[in-house]
Amino acid sequence: MSEKYDVVIIGAGPAGYVAAIKAAQLGLNTACVEQWLDDKGKILLGGTCLNVGCIPSKALLDSSYKFAEARDHLGVHGISVEAATINVPAMIARKDNIVKQLTGGIAGLFQHNGVTAISGTGKVIAGAKVEVTDKDGNVQIIEAANIIVAAGSVPVHIPPAPLDNEYIIDSTGALDLTEVPGRLGIIGAGVIGLELGSVWGRLGSDVVMLEALEEFLPLVDAQIAKEAAKILKKQGLDIRLGARVTNAEVKDGAVEVSYSSAGSEHVETFDKLIVAVGRRPRSEELFTTDSGLTLDERGYIYVNDFCETEAPHVYAIGDIVRGPMLAHKGSEEGVMVAERIAGKQAQMNYDYIPGVIYTHPEVAGVGQTEQALKANGIDYKVGIFPFAASGRALASSEAEGMVKLIAHAETDRILGCHIVGPGAADLVQEVVIAMEFGSSAEDLALTVFAHPTLSEAVHEAALAVDGHAIHIANRKKRK
């Protein structure tokens, strides 16, 4: 009989590996099962985020932006760069080295904290046990006092555009292109599509984005989404809303895409086509019917607010459960569950989880949007500050976008913050912290911010909530 563990985790992505490290730090005998292997057949930790998601995409976004800046934007600073070129294989190699460094770092943390890494595909079976099948088909049963399922998610595929992994690819394949496509089609103008479109558009691709929805970024504050669309289109992204793809096929070394829009049929030809219509939970073949786990109507494992499943001592976290598919959401769930297993009364606040789109400028938000507040009949007030009025933003030639702060009309408590602009991902975190402590807009307005900084835009937006902004003309407030 194999060793019995206090905690066995299925999946070593941001949710799983964080849960494993935290559980081990709390003195629990912990094992983590992961099915991914590197090109040498060795267990590969980090999941989608580190290997084919968050980290590699940000590496390419950074490289492509530096190239575009050198080619198009340094002249205003008096810097002349003649005939800037991009070495795509070198860019991809840099991305791969970053991934290798970080995944190797997790392996080192597992070793340091005493986490046992088990290579294979894990499945929850009856009796709170985990069945592990390795790459050679060998099966072992692992006993666990507690199980945490953190199996993650996979890209959604659509029948009209079947992948061939050469001309029609998903988000994973889009991270390993060896040359810049002349004309690039992207199905989906959500977070993934916009980030990938930004990478290859900066490098010279003619990017056309086909989005089935009529509304751009519907979960983002509508005013911020409108401003983001204006900026991204000015950068060259051809974003076509209400464009429903009906067929895609490879013809003569190119992809012919048919789509319907506004009652008309259209055909476009691309060198490459990226399918980026979202992700779904990887819940198939993850547990047996007698394990006690159940799925909801969207394929997520059913859990309560503490990530407990309907099976005793079995938890599920990350992309495999309800809520936004965000690495940081899964990581914090992993910490909460590990602490609860260890006997602590841990909980998680799902109201203040920030979301970010890493275009340039970035789009970030936390809390409620203006359209959601209107729909729910909640009275609110808004403060807006444009980066065009920020000295630091102007000095950096990064003056597009705005900060929007929303507060309750009576209590002044901050209800949401939404930003499109330079450093939005970091700026919104200031407001996340403020909201976590129940701050009012006045609390932020009374806080001293360093000058000159981009963060002053948050300060001015807080001042603007009550018409007290200093560096813009204040708008008349609603009566």
Give the residue numbers annotated as catalytic, written as ranges: 451
Question: Is the bond preceding residue 452 a cis peptide, omega within 30 degrees?
Answer: yes
**357, β-bridge pairs:** 363
Q: Which pair of structure tokens corresponds to residue 215?
A: 């509304």
* 3-state DSSP assignment of residue 401: coil
| DSSP notation for 155-193 | E---TTS---SSSEEETTGGGS-SS--SEEEEE--SHHH
Angstrom distances, CA of residue 415 to CA of 328, 449, 467: 21, 21, 17
Question: Which amino acid makes up residue 449?
Answer: F
Residue 373 CA from chain centroid, whole number: 24
Distance of alpha carbon 179 from alpha carbon 261, whole angstroms:
31
Burial code of 107-124, b = ≥16 C-beta within 10 A, e = fewer?
Answer: bebbeeeebbbbbbbbbb
Query: What is the DSSP code (8-state) at residue 291?
Result: G
Angle value at C-alpha 219, between 260 and 270, nearest 5 degrees: 35
Residue 274 CA from chain centroid, whole number: 18
- Per the CB < 8 A criterion, the answer to whether 301 and 283 are in contact is yes
Q: Is 266 exposed, middle or buried (0-12, 13-18, 19+ CB in 10 A)?
A: middle
